[in-house]
Structure 1
Amino acid sequence: MSTDPATSASEGEKARGKAYFSIAVVGGLAALGFWYDPPWLYDWLKVLHIVAVISWMVGLFYLPRLFVYHTDAEAGSEPSETFVVMEGRLIKVIMNPAMMLSWLVGLWLAWSGFAFLGLWLWIKIAAVVALTGFHVFLSRAARRFASGSNQMTARQWRMANEIPTVLMILVIIMVIIKPFS
């Protein structure tokens, strides 16, 4: 594998382009399905939603772990620069598209399947809003790492790593148990 930054950036752009193209194809197919509204659409959109949520959650779990190790690397060093590339790609190629797809498909499912009715659904949406806020927080932290101005310790990043776990558990309880319905 090449360590040339120009090659690395080029490879990253290609991967990002492929990811966005795939999302566009899936989005286009979803739009066609929505237009024709076949009976099988709802179940397939649930599958797409679950895959997108799992992908997003993987990033929300992994990025703070990368930050734990990045904190120990000296700013501007080769390991630090490697972490910057890894973190940037994780956010741009996996986390951002997965979050957007989770929201788009999730809102359609909430509207189509439940007409936005049920306290459990609103608690779930509030937890997803909190996950989105954590996502934004991590994205800003990645920019701080890239500029050499991280403000948190490795221990703080380990503790921050628990935030998506708690929110995920809340979401799962709301979806499976549906209390308050």
Structure 2
Amino acid sequence: MYNYIIALHIIFIVTWFAGMFYMPRLFIYNTEANEKEDAAQKILHEQFTIMMKRLWYGITFPSAIITLILGPLIWFEKYDFTLPAWLFIKLIFVVFLYLYFISLHIIFKQQVKGIFKYTSQQLRVWNEVATIFLFAIVFLAVVKSALGLVYGLIGLVIFIIILMSAIKIYKKIRDQKE
């Protein structure tokens, strides 16, 4: 039974992350629609709202809930309520991932109401946060050691620096095209 639970957990993590990767892109496109003329803006906002609702309520939110249910089942089955150090640190990242998920929900609700508090550039940066969590959580789950954690954190910092640099370079290229 354990292997089936693990398989389902991985499947719902993948679908949850797919939603968290795509949702901010829709936020960006919806925000950039504000730069269009009124008629196009209205059509785009309506379409992006439909897309966001389907993605959020059909894939992202249910996947987050199922992931949250299956994760503890795996922990209790495998570790009998003990908490290895690597798992404790991983769970801290998971808590922050759920906080990130909640922040996406807040932005989603705002945009559905026509409230745009963030620029497309801010949303581009926010879009990469899920990638950082994915990197940290997968490394902890696979390596499962303190030394691996140190290397993983060093790699995570390097990864963040590369990611933020890529965002800045993309912005410069995009600004030059305009």
Q: Equivalents in 1 of 2:25, 2:94: separation in Å?
A: 21
Match of 1:63 among 13, 23, 29: 23
Aligned pair count reads 141
Is 1:113 the counterpart of 2:73? The answer is no
CA deviation after TM superposition for structure 1 residue 89, in Å? 1.3
Match of 2:136 in 1: 170
Is 1:151 the counterpart of 2:120? The answer is no
Match of 1:48 in 2: 8
Cα distance per residue 1:91-128 (max 9 Å; x no partner)? 11101110011111111101110234201111111111
Q: Equivalents in 1 of 2:82, 2:52: separation in Å?
A: 35
Q: Equivalents in 2 of 1:89, 1:122: separation in Å?
A: 34
Match of 1:89 in 2: 54
What is the SS of the residue equivalent to 1:169?
Answer: helix
Q: Equivalents in 2 of 1:149, 1:81: separation in Å?
A: 14
CA deviation after TM superposition for structure 1 residue 177, in Å? 0.2
In the TM superposition, what are the counterparts of 1:130-149 in structure 2 within 5 Å?
Answer: 130-149=96-115
Match of 2:91 among 118, 125, 130: 125
CA deviation after TM superposition for structure 1 residue 52, in Å? 0.3
Normalising by structure 2, report the TM-score.
0.75
Q: Equivalents in 1 of 2:8, 2:45: separation in Å?
A: 35
Two-structure CA RMSD over aligned residues (Å): 1.5
| Structure 1: 5+ residue stretches without partners | 1-40
- Tell me, yes or no, if the aligned pair for 1:71 and 1:150 is still in contact at 8 Å: yes
Q: Equivalents in 2 of 1:59, 1:82: separation in Å?
A: 17
More helix by share: 2
- AA of the residue aligned to 1:152: Y
- AA of the residue aligned to 1:81: E
CA deviation after TM superposition for structure 1 residue 163, in Å? 0.5
Match of 2:68 in 1: 103
Match of 2:168 in 1: none
**Bigger mean CA deviation after superposition, 66-75 or 79-88:** 66-75
Q: Equivalents in 2 of 1:122, 1:106: separation in Å?
A: 13
Match of 1:31 in 2: none
State percent identity of aligned pairs: 28
CA deviation after TM superposition for structure 1 residue 85, in Å? 1.1
Normalising by structure 1, report the TM-score.
0.74
Cα distance change, pair 57–116 in 1 and its aligned pair in 2 (3 A): farther
4+ runs deviating over 2 angstroms? none
